[in-house]
């Protein structure tokens, strides 16, 4: 067994956090490859090192630059001193200063937070340091170049017992050696790519939470943690607004069948959330998670005998497509068809779409409503458990919440419910309380 351990910014914000990370890595020999983020916030009003780096890079004058640059140096020196390490970053800072003055690129500037943190951590752990600029290659759009990266990174990792590989960046895949950051997902993507190419058995993603929560803690007070979740469930929850790992950071490990374990650096004893391709483990609850978002609009099209018009649905969707609008759902009655779209995307094109629909399908009427919230109740356990829909709708009925839309396809992995924006939070609370106690 071997593992990749990725630590988020709050897990490496200062010397105290570094000590926890050391403890975690050293107590388990399987934790071979370490992917650090840049130092995050130490307290609520603190600034992340990455943000200081951007600030320094964009500084309008010398004094602002110098003050910010000093602040960055102090952050690292505090860590080095706190850990009583025998390492100096002076040379690195000299090179950085020069590069910043030459304005060699924002990605370069931002990436130095991870780079320096990786150097310090590698020294502290006595692990080898691997600079991702030599082993991870990123295209101009910020996506990982699989063909160029995989052979080089695999070879590099095969040659070492242990290593620290900073997250968030690599170099452009054009051979120029220019530092390039990932567009989305940051250090999580690096962890995932390292896990894939290090051929490990588990990707531990260490954060400041003990896993994913069943519902948004701003809505439900102290929600339970999800023990095990499949990639599919995760995708459904994240799509509906739950803040979880970015897609890009999931694909490399998913394709290799490597599970991800979300862990809490401050509570390493907590089991966290395990993300898997599929599992025979009976889920702890019938539902795995609840997520949702406000801000959808409904376009309800009525036309007598629409069902007997072959091509009706296609023509309707063509109008939305012509205006570059994607639709979320399309529930249909007998003579009605409702298209659900994102209000922000729709609002400016509203009248054009209406005119287009009138031309395309000559409806009897079109009604618009714009305060719809969508809630997804997700769970692989729903398939085996009859009466889930009843429990969901009971819970909402008890709270007097009117349901504007219901959509359950035959995957039986989720039920999607539309309610007015004002019922969004009460609906999530009601569903949570029905299933989790």
Binding residues: 6-9, 50, 114, 207-208, 218
Residues 429 and 434: their CA atoms lie apart, in Å, by: 9
Say how far apart CA 332 and CA 321 lie, in whole Å: 19
- Of 199, 154, 148, 201, nearest to 170 by C-alpha is 148
Binding range to its own copies, per CB under 8 A, among 41-49, 130-138, 189-197, 328-336: 328-336
CB of 396 to its own copies, least distance (A): 7
Exactly one of 318, 350, 371, 425 binds its own copies (CB under 8 A); that residue is 318
Strands 365-378 and 289-302: antiparallel
**Please, what is the minimum distance in Å from the beta carbon of residue 341 to its own copies?**
12
Q: Which residues are annotated as a binding site for ATP?
A: 6-9, 207-208, 218
x-marked contacts with its own copies along 266-305 as a string, rule CB under 8 A: --------------------------------x-x-x-xx
Q: Which of these ranges, 50-58, 123-131, 153-161, 309-317, lies near its own copies under the rule CB under 8 A? A: 309-317
Residue 324 within binding range of its own copies, rule CB under 8 A: yes
363-391: b or e for each residue (b if 16 or more CB lie within 10 Å)? Answer: beebeebebbbbbbbbbbbbeeeeebeeb
| Residue of 199, 326, 355, 359 interacting with its own copies (CB under 8 A) | 326
Q: In this structure, what token pair is assigned to residue 346?
A: 């729709």
123-161 b/e with 16+ CB inside 10 Å = b?
A: bbbebebbbbbebbbbeeeeebbeebbbeebeebbeeee
DSSP 331: -
Residues with Cβ within 8 Å of 36's Cβ and at least 6 positions away in sequence, in order, are 6, 7, 12, 114, 117, 118, 121, 164, 166, 167, 187
Note the maximum CA span of the chain.
80
Q: Are strands 202-207 and 3-7 parallel, antiparallel or unpaired?
A: parallel
Contact with its own copies (CB under 8 A) among 408, 421, 425, 426 = 408
- Closest separation in Å from C-beta 348 to its own copies: 16
Number of residues counted as binding its own copies (CB under 8 A): 67
User: Does the protein bind its own copies through residue 92 (CB under 8 A)?
Assistant: no
- CA angle 356–322–302, rounded 5-degree value: 40
Nearer to its own copies, 22 or 393 (CB): 393
Q: How far is CA 327 from CA 275, 298, 335, 376, in A?
A: 28, 10, 19, 16
Is residue 352 involved in binding its own copies (CB under 8 A)?
no
Judged by CB under 8 A, does residue 413 bind its own copies?
yes
Q: Which residues of 24-53 are buried (b: 16+ CB within 10 A; e: fewer)?
A: bbeeeeebbbbbbbbbbbbeeeeebbbbbb
Q: Which of 335, 350, 371, 425 binds its own copies (CB under 8 A)?
A: 335
- For β-strands 179-181 and 169-172, DSSP reports them as antiparallel
Q: Which of residues 360-399 bind its own copies (CB under 8 A)?
A: 367, 369, 376, 386-387, 389-394, 396-397
CB of 7 to its own copies, least distance (A): 28
d(C-alpha 103, C-alpha 2), whole Å: 40
Q: At its nearest, how many Å lie between its own copies and the CB of residue 315?
A: 9
Closest CB to its own copies among residues 263, 404: 404
Site track for its own copies across 221-260, x = CB under 8 A: -----------x--xx--xx------x-------------
CB of 303 to its own copies, least distance (A): 11
**The binder of its own copies chosen from 20, 58, 123, 329 (CB under 8 A):** 329
> Could you give the CA distance from residue 159 to residue 161 in angstroms, rounded to a whole number?
7
Which stretch in 33-41, 170-178, 256-264, 316-324 sits in contact with its own copies by CB under 8 A?
316-324
Dihedral of CA atoms 210, 213, 217, 223 in degrees, nearest 10, equals -90
- What is the torsional sign of CA 392, 394, 400, 406? positive
Residue 328 near its own copies by CB under 8 A: yes
Of positions 338, 341, 343, 424, contacts its own copies by CB under 8 A: 338
What is the number of residues in the chain? 437
Instruction: Tell me if 176 contacts its own copies by CB under 8 A.
Output: no
Q: Does 434 bind its own copies (CB under 8 A)?
A: no
Positions in the binding site for its own copies (CB under 8 A): 232, 235-236, 239-240, 247, 298, 300, 302, 304-305, 307-311, 313-314, 317-318, 321, 324-338, 367, 369, 376, 386-387, 389-394, 396-397, 400-416, 418
């Amino acid at each position: 067994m071997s593992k990749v351990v990725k630590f988020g910014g709050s897990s490496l914000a200062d010397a105290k956090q570094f000590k926890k990370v050391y403890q975690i890595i050293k107590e388990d020999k399987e934790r071979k490859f370490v992917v650090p983020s840049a130092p995050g916030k130490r307290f609520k009003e603190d600034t992340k090192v990455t943000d200081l780096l951007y600030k320094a890079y964009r500084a309008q004058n010398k004094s602002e630059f110098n003050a910010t640059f000093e602040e960055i140096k102090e952050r690292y020196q505090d860590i080095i001193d706190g850990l009583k390490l025998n390492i100096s970053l002076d040379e690195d800072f000299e090179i950085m200063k020069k590069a910043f003055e030459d304005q060699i690129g924002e990605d370069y500037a931002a990436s130095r937070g991870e780079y320096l943190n990786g150097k310090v951590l590698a020294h502290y752990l006595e692990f080898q340091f691997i600079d991702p600029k030599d082993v991870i290659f990123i295209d101009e759009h910020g996506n990982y170049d699989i063909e160029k990266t995989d052979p080089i990174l695999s070879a590099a990792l095969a040659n070492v017992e242990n290593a620290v590989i900073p997250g968030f960046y690599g170099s452009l895949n054009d051979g120029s050696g220019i530092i390039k950051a990932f567009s989305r997902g940051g250090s999580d993507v690096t962890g995932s790519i390292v896990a894939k190419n290090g051929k490990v058995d588990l990707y531990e993603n260490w954060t400041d939470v003990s896993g994913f929560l069943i519902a948004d803690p701003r809505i439900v007070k102290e929600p339970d943690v999800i023990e095990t979740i499949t990639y599919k469930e995760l995708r459904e929850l994240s799509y509906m607004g739950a803040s979880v790992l970015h897609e890009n950071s999931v694909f490399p490990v998913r394709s290799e069948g490597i599970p991800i374990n979300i862990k809490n650096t401050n509570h390493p004893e907590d089991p966290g959330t395990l993300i898997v391709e599929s599992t025979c483990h009976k889920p702890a609850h019938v539902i795995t998670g609840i997520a949702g978002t406000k801000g959808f609009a409904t376009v309800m099209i009525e036309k007598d005998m629409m069902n007997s018009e072959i091509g009706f649905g296609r023509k309707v969707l063509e109008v939305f497509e012509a205006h570059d609008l994607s639709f979320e759902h399309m529930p249909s009655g007998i003579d009605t068809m409702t298209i659900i779209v994102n209000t922000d995307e729709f609002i400016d094109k509203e009248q054009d779409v209406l005119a287009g629909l009138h031309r395309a399908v000559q409806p009897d009427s079109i009604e618009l409503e714009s305060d719809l919230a969508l809630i997804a109740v997700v769970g692989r356990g729903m398939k085996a458990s009859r009466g889930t829909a009843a429990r969901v709708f009971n819970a909402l009925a008890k709270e007097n919440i009117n349901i504007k839309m219901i959509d359950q396809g035959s995957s039986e992995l989720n039920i999607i419910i539309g309610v007015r924006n004002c019922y969004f939070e009460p609906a999530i609370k009601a569903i949570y309380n029905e299933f989790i106690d």
